[in-house]
Amino acid sequence: MEKPTHKQLLDAGVHFGHLKKKWNPKMLPYIFMEKKGIHLIDLHRTAECMDEAAAALKQIARSGRKVMFVATKKQARSIVIEAAKSVNMPYVADRWLGGMMTNFSTIRKSIKKMNNIDKMLGDSSVSITKKERLTLTRERNKIEKVMGGIANLNRLPAAIFIVDITHEHIALAESRKLGLRTFGMVDTNSNPSLVDFPIPSNDDASKSVKLITDYMVSAIKEGLEERRKSKEASSN
């Protein structure tokens, strides 16, 4: 698990915050300075927080529990989908449906419906018209777009990693309500006290999102690898 260097954090623009007028005063401990009306994040604090978050995520993965990735902002979607898939973790990247966590049983019904449509469409013995097939395919794709990333999630995850906690405030609120461990990229306009593991960083630039998300994923990979080795050792 190679940690990004100070130069890499700088090059990715991780330190760029929002305009001073948009700041949340609770971000004060993480702000290095103000330049031309823009707050700059203290990258030493970012590095510390990244380490704490990575260590916790590694332990969660090692214990065999799931971490859900959430990023519905355009510039972060593809990064998070790729990251989550690389470690076989659930993700939400299209939009967060209210109740996605707090009303999980209803969400599971929609996923079951999608799976049933798949079976129907794939079963040649089922007689359906061309129009019915088209309608079913559209309905299936609609569900898949929003819920495809959580299709294999049979129970609530243990933790959630969020890119931009202000933008994803509903996801964060539901996770807190259910007592999930929360991890998040927190920009200067957000409240870091709402997250268990805040990572002060630019949550708007794709380079910044990728650098931090990739580091979190590398920690999860280490945890999964340790789990695999531990299982092998106990079975021998």
Across the chain, which has 236 residues, the per-10-residue mean pLDDT values are 90 93 93 92 97 97 96 95 96 91 88 87 82 90 88 91 96 96 97 98 96 97 94 80
Task: Assign 3-class secondary structure to 21-64.
Answer: HHCCHHHHHHEEEEECCEEEECHHHHHHHHHHHHHHHHHHHHCC
Structure tokens at 95: 């939009």
Residues, the chain: 236
Task: Report CA-CA distances (Å) from 78 to 17, 100, 191, 205, 228.
Answer: 22, 20, 25, 13, 28
DSSP state of 2: P
165: phi then psi, degrees, rounded to nearest 5:
-70, -20
Max Cα separation, the chain? 68
Q: Give residue 96's pLDDT.
A: 92
- Answering whether pTM is above 0.85, one says yes
Q: Give residue 236's pLDDT.
A: 67
Q: Is 116 helix (H, G, I), strand (E, B) or coil?
A: helix
Q: Which domains does the chain have, with CATH numbers?
A: 6-101+156-235 (3.40.50.10490), 104-149 (1.10.287)
82 CB neighbour count, 10 Å cutoff:
15
Q: Give residue 233's pLDDT.
A: 86
